[in-house]
Amino acid sequence: MGMQAITAEKLNEWVVGKKDFFIFDVRNVKDFEDWKVEGENIQYLNIPYFELIDGVEEVVDQLPREKDIVVICAKEGSSVMVAEMLSDAGFNVSYLSGGMKSWSEYLYPVEVYKDEDIKVLQFIRVGKGCLSYMVLSENEALVVDPSRFTDRYTAIAEKENVRITHIVDSHLHADHLSGGKQLADLTGAKYYLMKSEGAAFDFEALEQHDRIEFENITLEVLAVKTPGHTPGSVSFFVNNKLLFSGDTIFVNGLGRPDLGGKAAEWAKDLYDTVYSKVSLIADDVFVLPGHYASFDGEVNPAGFIGSQLGLIRQQNEIMEGKTVDEFVEHVAQSASSDTPPNFEDIVAINRGVKAVTADEAMELEIGPNRCAVHHTH
């Protein structure tokens, strides 16, 4: 039947388009259970490739002959071997080019908002559940929570004929490496971060910039301790219309306040943020978060992740009418003990106190995002 490679980009088109296909994942069971390509119509079989070295005869009856099959492994090699055997056995089969490494690194832009003053692009890193943004206005652009793939942002800036002049990180990320400092060095943009996050390099302290204004953009910093995982998490309110909520508010939940080992204390700060700051923001403001957990459940019909604040409030009963004790107890119970893998190394690199090679960066980031606490009922 033939065998071919499928790129992460093409596989994502299948996922977003809800194509009915079959994934044969040949990584070990723990890795598969921990993190996989997810989508609405996908069926799975997971058998480690070392059980298939002598042939696929014993598994062929578990695979559909009428569907497209994609074989996936960590970095590609094993999936090529298995795909070749399945092709010889008469299956219509592809292997994921670059394996889960390429899935982890794939991100793509979607336009989420446009008016006479600004245009906003969301960069969806589908394998990690990480979101970053570019806000364009006239000849300048602001980047929010950039990933380490700085070329993706500079390429769009060139295409749109804008200069990246401002870069903001909502906090020191625990599950992925920030590209903020590197992008600032490349473009000459100002890079903003909360001083309380403890970064070891030069940056503009958000404590000194409660407003950032340029072209037709006014960005307000909700810069109290709005902890997702860190003492200095912030949200950014743009033109009173869009709330870039970092890891404070998600479409289906709130940021987890337990990664610093101070769940109860930080949950109180989160309560103050939600009840004294976010509660004052109008229902029709659009929330654009820093992460999402499920592409199926959170992507809206326009193809991006975000929702009106009023709808999020309705879905998350924890955001209204609770006492501080009720809130803290609920958040503490919801916080997963499953911390992001390598998060201490990742935070150290993002603080600028540890260096990393490209290969090490890739290895550190492999795996799912575990930054949300879900409160949807």
Q: Read off the CATH number of the domain in which 360 is found.
A: 3.60.15.10
- Long-range contact list for 355-358, CB < 8 A, 24+ apart? 356/177
Whether residues 92 and 212 share a domain: the answer is no
Question: Which of residues 53, 84, 102 is at a domain's end?
Answer: 102
What is the pLDDT at residue 261? 56
**Residue 70 CA to chain centroid, in angstroms?**
24
Domain count across the chain: 2
| pLDDT at residue 268, rounded to an integer | 80
43 and 152 assigned to the same domain: no
Which residue do the tokens 């065998």 mark? 3
Same domain? For 142 and 45 the reply is no
The reported pLDDT for the residue numbered 242 is: 94
**Alpha-carbon distance 25 to 166, whole Å?**
41
pLDDT at 277 over 90: no
How high is the pLDDT of residue 61? 94
pLDDT in tens, 234-269: 889 999 999 998 877 888 777 665 555 566 777 787
**Domain final position from 48, 68, 102:** 102
Residue 48 has pLDDT above 50, yes or no: yes
Same structural domain, 59 and 131: no
Provide CB contacts within 8 A for 47, sequence distance 6+: 24, 26, 59
Amino acid identity, position 117: D
pTM of this structure = 0.88
Among candidate residues 371, 98, 20, 99, the one with its CA nearest the CA of residue 230: 371
Same domain, 26 and 152: no
Q: Which residues pair with 212 in a beta bridge?
A: 219
Looking at the structure, tell me whether residues 20 and 153 fall in a common domain: no
The active-site residue out of 3, 47, 73, 349 is 73
**All residues at 6 or more sequence positions from 90 whose CB lies less than 8 Å from its CB, including other chains:** 1, 65
Which residue, of 82, 102, 122, is where some domain finishes? 102
Confidence (pLDDT) at 93: 96
Tens of pLDDT, residues 187-237: 999 999 888 777 878 888 888 888 899 999 999 887 545 554 466 678 899
Q: Are residues 89 and 187 in the same domain?
A: no
Annotated catalytic residue 73: yes
The CATH number given to whatever domain includes residue 87 is 3.40.250.10
The reply to whether 185 and 203 lie within a common domain is: yes
Residue span of the structural domain in which 29 resides: 3-102
Q: Are 24 and 118 part of one and the same domain?
A: no
Q: What is the mean pLDDT of residues 98-116?
A: 94
Single-letter residue type at 328: V
Q: What is the pLDDT of residue 371?
A: 47
Non-local (6+) Cβ contacts of 33 within 8 A are 46
- Strand 130-137's sheet: what is its strand order? 108-114, 119-125, 130-137, 140-144, 163-168, 190-193, 204-205
Both 161 and 257 in one domain: the answer is yes
Asked whether residue 120 falls in the same domain as residue 187, the answer is yes
Q: Are residues 54 and 175 in the same domain?
A: no
Percentage, residues of the chain above pLDDT 70: 87
Do 53 and 78 meet the contact criterion of CB atoms below 8 Å apart?
A: no
